[in-house]
Amino acid sequence: MNEQPDTNIILAPAALPKAARSASMGESSNITVTWARHQDEVRQAQRLRYEVFAGEMGARLDTRLEGHDADLFDDYCEHLLVRAADTGDVIGTYRVLTPAQARRVGSFYSDTEFDLWRLRRLRERMVELGRSCVRADHRQGGVILALWGALAEFMQRNALDTMIGCASIPMLHNGVVSGDIAASIWRQLKATHLAPIEYHVTPRLPLPVDALDSGLDVEPPALIKGYLRLGAKVLGPPAWDPDFNTADLPMMMRIHDLPPRYRKHFLGGA
């Protein structure tokens, strides 16, 4: 993984995209959704990511900041935070890299895992979602829906229409690292949710799916299933991320592909 610079570049509130200026993008009786406004809030997201990725998934994180999952892309991203209303603890997070900020840092994170050449015409209206995680004791629909609601508003307010990202499939299963589950999920989704060929991307370090058992009767992780319900497509076979112990599927969601019920829920029928 990339090393974290010594200091974060934090945008002043007036420079943030419209959706990021609001202190609270959505709330329920027990959670609030906000955009990080300063470095301390970004650090809270990074600590949660470390808890989930290193603590649960066994990721080997190359970071200068102990107990944090931090890389150079964090400096250029907007960080979406879901908090427990009673404690203020960050229980869910996404980071969002806009086209302008991707140009500043030199690429999307996904460019490091995939050749995205076929998406070049989409880049000016395309954001990257990354480092999605929810604390283990809050993995219910409400937290995910709150995140997606804020993301949908962010996209609408900033005239963006495409979201991409690497959806991770853990390779640590019952104490054993294996790619069979990822190969099986790829086989299923290739048949049902593969994007048109003009959007296909190529992994830089492919998971060797042809050498693995792809016949397992397994379901995709909950987050991937949620993306698929929102109309997401898989852009090609998974990349292997040995540091995170994951197989990463390239996925794309476009606003105009949202099913009507989700369009009404997130965008008010827009």
* Rounded mean pLDDT for each run of 10 residues along the chain, 270 residues in total: 30 33 49 96 98 88 90 97 95 97 97 98 97 87 85 94 95 80 97 98 97 94 91 97 92 94 79
Helices (H) and strands (E) in the chain, counts: 7, 13
Task: Give the CA angle between residues 156, 163, 253 to the nearest 5°.
Answer: 100
Classify residue 38: in a domain, yes or no. yes
Residue type, 90: V
Classify residue 188: in a domain, yes or no. yes
Residue 49: per-residue pLDDT: 97
Residue type, 165: G
Residue 1: per-residue pLDDT: 34
Range of the domain at 170: 13-267
Classify residue 78: in a domain, yes or no. yes
What pTM was computed for the model?
0.87
Residue 269: per-residue pLDDT: 58
Q: How many domains does the chain have?
A: 1
Q: Give CA–CA dist 84/94, Å, rounded.
A: 16
Burial class (CB in 10 A: 0-12, 13-18, 19+), 161: middle
Classify residue 4: in a domain, yes or no. no
Classify residue 2: in a domain, yes or no. no
- The DSSP H or E segment spanning 35 is strand 31-35
Residue 139: per-residue pLDDT: 79
Q: Give CA–CA dist 213/128, Å, rounded.
A: 31
Q: Give CA–CA dist 214/147, Å, rounded.
A: 32
Classify residue 199: in a domain, yes or no. yes
Classify residue 8: in a domain, yes or no. no
CATH of the domain at 173: 3.40.630.30
Residue 50: per-residue pLDDT: 95
Residue 241: per-residue pLDDT: 93
Classify residue 182: in a domain, yes or no. yes
